[in-house]
Amino acid sequence: MTDTRRALPSIGALLERAPVRALLDTAPRALVVDAVRATVAQARESATAPADDEAWAAAIVQRLAELSRPSLRRVINATGIVLHTNLGRAPLADAAIDAIAAIAAGYSNLELDLAQGARGSRYVHCASLLRELTGAEDALVVNNCAAALVLALNTVADGRDALLSRGELVEIGGSFRVHEIMAKSGARLREVGATNRTHLADYERAIGPDTGVLLKVHRSNFAVHGFTAEATVRDLAPLASAHGLPILHDLGSGLLVSLEAIGLRGEPTAREALDAGATIVVMSGDKLLGGPQAGLMAGRREAVEAARRHPLARALRMDKLSLAALEATLALYRDPPRALREIPTLALLAATPESLRRRAGELTVTLRRAGIACDTVDSTGSVGAGAFPDAELPGAAVALHGDAEGWSARLRAGSPAVVGRVHDGRMHLDLRAVLDSELTDLAQTVVAARG
C-alpha cells in the first residue's frame, strides 16, 4: 500500500482494467460497481491504496464476496446451549427438511380439500396429529407461541381481566414480556399474590364480574427457590370451574413426551397440563419440541374453535413450509424412541458426557495435527430457550490457546461461522450442540481462523 490519496483511480477507470472487468462475467454489474466504489472509498479513508491493478482487483474481489454473502448464514453452534434463540433454536429433523423440500418445490393442498375437491383449511394439517399427541379435543397452529398467547387471550378475555401471579410476570428474552404482550391482547392484567408466594386464595379474592381468564405462565428462564408457594393448574381447576372461567396455560417450551429418560424432569407435557385442567395450553414449535417456529394451541373444542374463527388468526397464520416441517416433526412423536433419535434437539440433549468427551478428544487431535495448540476440557452446557433453566448438562469442549477475543472474532467471520464461548479467558468450543455432520466443517473453520 502507498499513500496515493491524490492519485486514486476513478470508478470508471477501475472498471476498465482487465482483472476488474473480468469480474463482470460472474457477478451482476451493479454489485461490481458497488464493490469498486466501496474499495475506493476505503482507500481514501485509510489514506492507503492498493499498489497495482492486481492488488486493486484482489481488494475488489474481497469486497464483492462480502457484498454477495447472504445476510442469513449457517452457524455452527459451539456455545453448549442446545436451544439458542439467537442461533435459530431447533435444527430440524431430516424428515422435516424433506417435507419442506417436497412442499416448497411445487403446489400443495394447503387450502384444498382433496377428497371433496372443495376449498379446505390450512388449519387442518397438524390438528389431528396434535389431538392425538396431546389428548386435546381440538388444536390450532399459528406463527409462534407469543402469537398463540395473544390470540388465546383475545379470544377468551378481550376487555376483561386476566389473573396472573406476580411470580409469573416474566420476561422471556428479546422483548417478550408477558405483561406487555397482554396489554396488546386486549385483556387487562390483574396481578395476584407475591413474587415468591401465590395461593389459591389470592386468585379467589381477585375473581369478580370482570374476570375473563386465569392465566398460568411457565417460568421459562429462571427458577424460584426458598420460601415459595404456587397454585398449580390442578389447584385452580375447581375454582375456575365454579366461576365458569377458562384456564389458559402458557407452557412456553412445550413437551409432547416426557424427557425423564434423558434426565430432564419437572416440566409437564402438554397432555399432563391439559389433564390437570387447563382449558387451553400454548407452546412453541421450535423449543423442546424440536420443530420449526410455530405456536401450538391445544384444548377444549369451543375455545380452540373460537380462536380459529377469530380475525387475528388470519394475521398470525403459519406458512406452508413451516406447516410441512411441523407435521413431519409431530409424526415422529408417534414413536417416542424414534423421536429421541431423529429429532436433533432431543438427540443433542441425550448425548452422554462420554460421547461428547470422545468427540472433543478427536477434534483436539485433528487441530493439534494442524499445529493449533488446544486441550480437551470438561464443560457444562444448558438446554436454553426457556426450558429446564436449572438443568446443567455435563459435556466437553475444546479449549483453544491464545487470544480468546481474537479467536472469537475470526471464528464468527468463518464460513460457516462458528460461535463458541469465552470461558476463563479461553475460547471454548463446546461439543454439546454440534451435530455429527458439522464436525469436519468445524475443524476446517478453526484451522482457517488460525491467527
Q: How far is the CB of 432 from ligand PLP (least distance, A)?
A: 20
Site string for ligand PLP, 85-124 (x = CB under 6 A): ----------------------------------------
Q: How far is the CB of 274 from ligand PLP (least distance, A)?
A: 16
- Of the candidate residues 176, 229, 341, 358, the single one contacting ligand PLP (CB under 6 A): 176
Is 254 a residue that touches ligand PLP (CB under 6 A)? no
Which positions from 289 through 318 interact with ligand PLP, judged by CB under 6 A?
Answer: 295
Minimum CB–partner distance for residue 176 and ligand PLP (Å):
6
* CA pair distance 375, 357, nearest whole angstrom: 11
Q: Does 185 bind ligand PLP (CB under 6 A)?
A: no
Nearer to ligand PLP, 20 or 215 (CB): 215
The rounded distance, in Å, linking the Cα atoms of 395 and 125 is 38
The one among 77, 79, 144, 155 contacting ligand PLP by CB under 6 A: 144
Q: Which of 20, 126, 217, 346 binds ligand PLP (CB under 6 A)?
A: 217
Read off the DSSP letter of residue 52: S
Please give the C-alpha separations between residue 98 and each of 154, 252, 288, in angstroms, as whole numbers.
Answer: 36, 27, 20
Find the shortest distance in angstroms from Cβ 84 to ligand PLP: 13
Nearest to ligand PLP of 36, 316 (CB atom): 316
Nearest Cα residue to 35 out of 6, 51, 4, 58: 58
Q: Which stretch binds ligand PLP (CB under 6 A): 39-47, 214-222, 311-319, 406-414?
A: 214-222
Residue from the set 63, 190, 218, 357 that interacts with ligand PLP by CB under 6 A: 218
Closest approach of ligand PLP to the CB of residue 282, in Å: 7
Q: How would you classify the pairing of strands 138-142 and 417-419?
A: unpaired
Helix (H, G, I), strand (E, B) or coil at 195: coil
DSSP 8-state symbol, 255: B
Location of C-alpha cell 412442499: 103
Per-position x/- string for 48-87, each x denoting binding to ligand PLP as judged by CB under 6 A, each - no binding: ----------------------------------------
Is residue 151 part of the contact set for ligand PLP (CB under 6 A)? Answer: no
Q: Does 165 help bind ligand PLP (rule: CB under 6 A)?
A: no
User: Closest distance between ligand PLP and the C-beta of residue 172, in Å?
Assistant: 4
Query: Alpha-carbon distance 157 to 310, whole Å?
Result: 13
- Beta carbons within 10 angstroms of residue 128's beta carbon: 13
> Coil, helix or strand for 268?
coil
* Torsion (CA) 324, 304, 283, 350 in degrees, nearest 10: -60
Which residues are bridge partners to 252 per DSSP?
Answer: 283
Identity of the amino acid at 160: R
- How far apart, in whole angstroms, are the C-alpha atoms of residue 163 and residue 184? 16
Quick one: which of 9, 50, 91, 252 contacts ligand PLP (CB under 6 A)? 252
Stretch that binds ligand PLP, among 42-50, 76-84, 112-120, 143-151 (CB under 6 A): 143-151
- Please pick, from the candidates 145, 157, 307, 397, the single residue that binds ligand PLP as defined by CB under 6 A: 145
Give whichever of 170 and 442 is closer to ligand PLP, judged by the CB atom: 170
Q: What number of other Cβ atoms are within 10 A of residue 155's Cβ?
A: 27
Grid cell 487441530 in the structure block, residue: 367
Nearest distance from residue 86's CB to ligand PLP, in Å? 12
Tell me the residue number closest to ligand PLP, measured at CB.
252
| Contact flag: residue 172 with ligand PLP (CB under 6 A) | yes
Which strands make up the sheet holding 211-217, listed edge to edge? 138-142, 295-299, 280-284, 247-252, 211-217, 161-165, 188-192
Q: How far apart are CA 165 and CA 184, in angstroms?
A: 19
CB-nearer residue toward ligand PLP: 145 or 442: 145
268 near ligand PLP (CB under 6 A): no
Which DSSP category does 417 fall into? Answer: E
Question: Which string of b and e fits 132-152 if b means at least 16 CB within 10 Å?
Answer: ebbebebbbbbbbbbbbbbbb
What is d(CA 87, CA 432) in angstroms, rounded to the nearest whole number?
14
Query: Contacts with ligand PLP in 372-391 (CB under 6 A)?
Result: 386
Among positions 100, 139, 146, 399, the unique one binding ligand PLP when judged by CB under 6 A: 146
> How far lies 230's CA from each of 44, 193, 201, 233, 278, in Å?
65, 9, 11, 10, 16
Stretch that binds ligand PLP, among 3-11, 141-149, 339-347, 393-401 (CB under 6 A): 141-149
Is 193 an interacting residue with respect to ligand PLP (CB under 6 A)? no
Q: Does 220 contact ligand PLP by CB under 6 A?
A: yes
From residue 181, give the alpha-carbon distance in Å to each of 153, 176, 178, 363: 10, 7, 5, 44
Q: How far apart are CB 143 and ligand PLP at their closest, in Å?
A: 8
Give me the helices (H) in 17-163, please: 18-21, 29-46, 53-68, 94-104, 124-134, 145-157
**Contacts with ligand PLP, residue ranges (CB under 6 A):** 144-146, 149, 172, 176, 217-218, 220, 250, 252-253, 284, 295, 386
